[in-house]
Homo-oligomer: A and B are copies of this chain.
Amino acid sequence: MPFLSGTPPYRPERPVFAIVLGNTLLSTVPGVSGAGMSPEKTVLTPVLDSELITRGAIRSRKWKPNTPTGCPTPAVITRAMTVLLGLEPLFVNAGLTTRPVVPCLDVYGEPGGDPREGDAVPRARDLYARGEQVGRFLSQSCDFLLLGECVPGGTTTALCVLRGLGIPASVSSSFVNNPVALKEAICARVQERIQAGGATDPLDIIRIGGDPMLAVAAGIASAFRGDAVLAGGTQMLAVAAVLRDLGKKVPAIATTVYVRDDPSAGFVATAEMIGARVYYVDPDFSAIGHPGLARYCVGEVKEGIGAGGAMFLARLMGKSEVEIRDTILTTASSY
């Protein structure tokens, strides 16, 4: 199995790695999200992950954004790759419940509400426009944009948006056992609300059933004038689908083989339906020598906060598979 499938486009000269952070109240519904040690703690994962990636350690809280079973957050992979590349990532605050501890390009949004109860992102259109503003700023000096995300519970909002756009998608999960029945129940309720409102515009569908990251990431990617690659799994499929339905160019996606191989997600088929080219990274964590990372291979975590895309970018920038795996192992072991 090759480390990277597909031919990388080229070696960027001035890449920027932007990671959009957001919350949806859905992550506090028990069973929806495994991106944190408990449902209540999942909402803090974007802030803790961004602290870990920027500073190499988490000092603002006494716990780590690991899964309930102790798998390390994928932020250790993203941290490892930014250190290896000497790259300072840019965090974008699309709407968080808590104040970040590292600088963020803040669009001054709000966390997404529970889409079963009412509009999840009332200002979706405005957030998209603010994302465009960010995309224009980044276009001035960067020729390549890797755009990641971190939204605990975000695969469920992505499912709502993909289905709302008429795409018969399933989505992945950070749990080994994807809570498909729970997600489908939430999604069914949201589809009723979308149909009751007669919504067909992608930004209206995000407003009703999405999360703030989806609006901001779509805005950034749509306005970026260089090559953009979306770094993530099924949540980035939703961003790609939104862009397609807005009549914009559909960016490529970079993710891990653990997302591709999730039988509950149908990632490859959905990507084909949307027309998104995908680069898959296989870091072969089964042999890396870290029991928590090895659990990625049996379907836990799989991806997150741009980890797959970060490994993809490291290969683009000429780093070897050995360097990439060694740096990840060191980072995961010491954090």
Residues on A facing B (Cβ under 8 Å): 14, 16, 54, 87-88, 90, 93, 99-108, 130, 133-134, 136-137, 140-142
B16 touches A133 (CB 8 A): no
Q: What 13 additional pairs, Cβ within 8 angstroms, besides A16-B141, A100-B106, A141-B142?
A: A14-B140, A88-B136, A88-B140, A90-B137, A99-B108, A100-B108, A101-B108, A102-B133, A103-B106, A103-B107, A103-B108, A104-B105, A106-B106
For the complex, what is the distance from the CA of A102 to the CA of B129, rounded to whole Å? 10
Closest residue on chain B to residue A143 by CB atoms: B141
Cross-chain contact of A87 among B54, B134, B140 (Cβ < 8 A): B140
CB distance from A109 to the nearest CB of B (A): 10
Cross-chain contact of A140 among B16, B107, B136 (Cβ < 8 A): B16
Q: Which of A87, A101, A134, A141 has the most CB of B within 10 A?
A: A141
CB distance from A144 to the nearest CB of B (A): 10
Report chain B residues within 8 Å CB of A140.
14, 16, 87-88
CB distance from A132 to the nearest CB of B (A): 10
Report chain B residues within 8 Å CB of A99.
108
B14 touches A141 (CB 8 A): yes
For the complex, what is the distance from the CA of A227 to the CA of B321, rounded to whole Å? 36
Contact A103/B88 with A16-B140, A140-B14, A141-B14 known, Cβ cut-off 8 Å:
no
- 6 smallest beta-carbon distances between A and B, as pairs: A141-B141, A106-B106, A14-B141, A88-B137, A103-B107, A141-B142
Report chain B residues within 8 Å CB of A136.
88
CB distance from A224 to the nearest CB of B (A): 12
Cross-chain contact of A133 among B14, B88, B130, B134 (Cβ < 8 A): B88
CB distance from A75 to the nearest CB of B (A): 17
Contact A134/B14 with A87-B140, A140-B88 known, Cβ cut-off 8 Å:
no
CB distance from A154 to the nearest CB of B (A): 21
For the complex, what is the distance from the CA of A104 to the CA of B99, rounded to whole Å? 14
Cross-chain contact of A106 among B88, B93, B130, B133 (Cβ < 8 A): B93
Report chain B residues within 8 Å CB of A141.
14, 16, 141-142
Question: What are 17 A-B residue pairs whose CB atoms fall within 8 Å in the complex?
Answer: A14-B140, A16-B141, A90-B137, A93-B106, A100-B106, A100-B108, A103-B106, A103-B130, A103-B133, A103-B137, A104-B105, A104-B106, A104-B108, A105-B105, A105-B106, A141-B141, A141-B142
